[in-house]
Amino acid sequence: MRSRRRIRDKVTNPLDRSLGDMRNEKEDDMVIEEAELEELDELEQLGAHLREAYELSGEPPSLAAIEFAESSASLPERTPAEMARFNAAVRQRIDEALRASTGAPTIGAWVQHARREASLDEAAAARQTGVAVTAYRQFEAGRMPVWGLPAKTFAKFCRGLAIDVSTLLRWASVSALNVRHIAYGRLDVRDEDRSKQLDTLAGESKDQFKAEFDHWRREFIDAYEEPSTNDVPPPR
């Protein structure tokens, strides 16, 4: 019982240790005893096994290792333009990966594939989605963005086709930002004022677009999660 208490006291000790205590401790520890030298190999082997065990555990790196890298690796301050380029490159990779995993070049083509699997024709799809057949064709051909469709009716249509809504929304958000960056993202090299105006215009346009997209997205999610009139209530 006494030894247990002593161990518990020791556990809390490191937190209370002052710098002076730590310095003293270092001095005490500077001398390696003979006995310790003899068991060096054994201890190193334990360390090596520990490293292997940690590797095998699949544990992600510790927070300490990440924070150490963050504080010690040198990287020049990143400009907003660098960050924007980096983000655009990430979105490009996501887009490519989504194309590969769905086997479709656009969201429209992906939905088209699901529609065909369900043996649904374009006219029925357009009717269910609440748009004209020509407009629906434009969507499937990748010439109209998904957020151009009415959110509520399209959400119900997607539910009917059992489309993975999380993938659809993330793909839409990635495509949306890729499209918007092209709109005003340029500079007028001869006129600084004009460059600033374009910059402001781009910022305002982006904010407005984000708000519109977000509104569409929320409407879509609400409609997708809404119970369908065809849903049969669970038996009591």
Partner 1 sequence: MNNYSNDDQLADAVQQGEIAAQEDFFNRFQVTLIKFAIKKGFSREDAEDLAQETLAVGFRTIASFRRGERIVRWLAGIEVNFMRRRWAAQSRDEVLDESTETAASMWLYQEQAYLAARTLSPEEMKERARLWADTQLYMSLAPNQVHMKVVQLFYLDNLTYAEIEATLGLAKDTAKVYKQRGLKYLKKMHDAKPPQDP
* Positions in the binding site for partner 1 (CB under 8 A): 7, 10-11, 13-15, 22, 25-26, 29-30, 32, 36, 39-40, 42-44, 46-66, 68-70, 72-75, 78, 83, 86-87, 89-90, 93-94, 97-98, 166, 168-170, 172-174, 176-177, 210, 213-214, 217, 221
C-alpha dihedral sign at 73, 79, 82, 88: positive
Residue 81 CA from chain centroid, whole number: 20
Minimum Å gap between C-beta 154 and partner 1 is 14
Query: Residues near 117 by Cβ (< 8 Å), separated by ≥ 6?
Result: 161
Minimum Å gap between C-beta 51 and partner 1 is 4
Minimum Å gap between C-beta 193 and partner 1 is 28
Nearest to 109 by CA among 88, 128, 95: 95
Question: Using only C-alpha atoms, what is the Rg of the chain?
Answer: 30
Minimum Å gap between C-beta 221 and partner 1 is 6
The DSSP code for 232 is P
Is residue 157 within 8 Å of 147, Cβ to Cβ? no
90 or 132, CB closer to partner 1? 90
137 or 159, CB closer to partner 1? 159
